Chain A
Amino acid sequence: MSQSANFLSSRLPIGGVAAYCIRRGNDILASDCLTKSLYPSSTEEMLARVVRSGRALLPSGDHPTRYCWTYEGHRVYVAARPDSVCLALLVENNASAQLATINETLQAFLDMAEA
């Protein structure tokens, strides 16, 4: 398991996080759907699309480090490192979401360099 995957597993569970995915380019380093109310395959596909779209939406040369897509029921937070490793968290829009912890986790992920 990669350092990034270990990093995340040591921090889970985090309130509100329903699924996560760590990718390097098109490769999935770690992925899990933590709730039975979501289909794992479509959730993973959603996270993959958000990660890809985040890169594609900005003009070339602008690389978003953090982005958040807000839907009615969920938010997708992405932290994208210069080494092209991305962490995507699918978070439920409800009172149980520990957003401070989620923000800390995303920042810690960005601050971490892959070995």
Chain B
Amino acid sequence: MSEAPNKRSQFLFVDDEPEFLNALTGVLREISKGQWAFRTATNHSQALEQMKAQPVEVVVLDFAMPVMNGVEFLRLLRQTHPGQRVVMLSGQMDEAARKSAVELGASLCLDKPSTPEGFQGLFSALEALVSSGPQAGFRGVMQVGLQEVLQMECLARKSSILVVSTGNRRGQIFICDGSIIHAEWGKMQGEVALYGLLGLTGGEFTLHPFTEPPQRTISGQHEFLLMEAARLNDENGSQPVRPGSLGDGEQQGAPGETQAATEARGVRIEEVLLCSSAGEVLYQWKCESLEARLDLFKKLEEQASEASKGTPSGRFHRVSMDTGASRLQLQIQPTFRLLVRSALPGNPINQ
């Protein structure tokens, strides 16, 4: 089912109807005057094998396929072939499926052609797509935490919307000039939603251009918000949220996170220090002795590494220390070190 791969544009058509594939490739070959090369697959397994054997410019995917529909296959392709351009074809794709396909990065969602005009329209759309060239920027697969993504966006003082999806749930975090200003997750909003999203253990994210949210529900330094999220993950870790396992966002986050957000608002930050792994200070607020704090990071890293020798505990992440009146939290990440000292609510120091 293959043609010579040295043609101008390489397409892989995936459809469970061989007759349709024959008709489609025949017509498109004629319209393209032999300038397009086609490969076809009648199921997902064949499609993956074809793509493994040789990359294609565009995958044209039928939505209504047995076992795994087009949207699900597209979701799989996003993980196995990030950056692959995919066009969805369907005669029966509802609005929700179309929206999901677009969110998963489908370049186009088109009706399945059945008339000469329809085939010509499909050809024109695919021609325009392959003529537009590769997308700007880089795409790739990297296991990265949402915390790291937010940290990068905030440190670069960017404005963007981080859209997070896991299973059928979707959330958004709004970043404006490096500050987290709003978050939504299911029916939750504000810090509760932010902490809920940062508690996810897996999923997918995309960054979108910033637009003003319906309201600004979050204020405060992003360093503290992220550190607080890390602490809450420690404390609420008995019920980690896994991709696809979410129930209603409101139910998932309600008790622990509401309490956490309330506590977060009652905490008064007294000191923040963010530095690179090389000890270069990136941001500091009310840090009285930089030298002592940098030394503290160094000591902590040494002692944490020494302590876990001979155990399968893995890389050290962070420590949280409560003295009753205050809390000191230190995070050691491969690229940065973060210290947040805060006065705990209900203590005289916090009055």
Contact = CB atoms under 8 A, between A and B. Distances in A.
Contacts of B300: 53, 57
Interface stretch (B143-151, B232-240, B246-254, B269-277): B232-240
Nearest to A69: B319
A68 B320 contact: yes
Interface stretch (A5-13, A24-32, A36-44): A36-44
Contacts of B7: none
Interface of A: 15-16, 37-39, 41-43, 45-46, 49-50, 53-54, 56-58, 62-76, 93, 95-100, 103
Contact of B303 (A57, A73, A93, A100): A57
A64 B239 contact: no
| Chain A interface helix/strand/loop/mixed | mixed
Given A68-B234, A103-B235, A49 B323 contact: no
A100 B259 CA distance: 14
B341 to A, nearest CB: 11
Given A57-B299, A95-B238, A97-B238, A72 B322 contact: no
A72 B314 CA distance: 5
A46 B317 CA distance: 16
Contacts, number: 106
25 contacts: A38-B312, A39-B310, A39-B311, A46-B307, A46-B308, A53-B307, A54-B321, A58-B328, A65-B323, A66-B321, A67-B320, A68-B234, A70-B318, A72-B313, A72-B317, A73-B312, A73-B313, A74-B311, A75-B234, A95-B238, A95-B240, A97-B237, A99-B236, A99-B238, A100-B238
Given A67-B321, A99-B237, 18 more contacts: A15-B238, A38-B312, A41-B310, A43-B311, A46-B307, A46-B311, A62-B323, A64-B323, A64-B328, A66-B321, A68-B319, A69-B307, A70-B318, A70-B319, A74-B313, A75-B237, A95-B239, A100-B238
Contacts of B309: 42, 45-46
Best-surrounded residue of B236, B296, B303 (most CB of chain A within 10 A): B303
B325 to A, nearest CB: 9
Interface of B: 230, 234-240, 296, 299-300, 303-304, 306-324, 328
Contacts of A71: 304, 308, 313-317
Contacts of B308: 46, 71
Contacts of B237: 75, 93, 97, 99
Given A54-B321, A65-B323, A69-B319, A16 B310 contact: no
B82 to A, nearest CB: 25
A96 B240 CA distance: 10
8 smallest CB-CB distances across A and B, nearest first, come from A72-B314, A42-B310, A49-B307, A71-B313, A99-B238, A67-B321, A64-B321, A53-B303
A12 B312 CA distance: 23
Nearest to A59: B292
A72 B315 contact: yes
A95 B236 CA distance: 10
A93 B316 CA distance: 13
Contact of B317 (A39, A62, A65, A70): A70
A16 B311 CA distance: 16
A42 B319 contact: no
Contacts of B306: 49
Nearest to B256: A100
Contact of B310 (A45, A96, A98): A45
Contact of A65 (B238, B314, B322, B328): B322
A73 B321 contact: no
Given A93-B237, A99-B236, A69 B304 contact: yes
Contacts of A70: 230, 234, 316-320
B333 to A, nearest CB: 12
Nearest to A15: B238
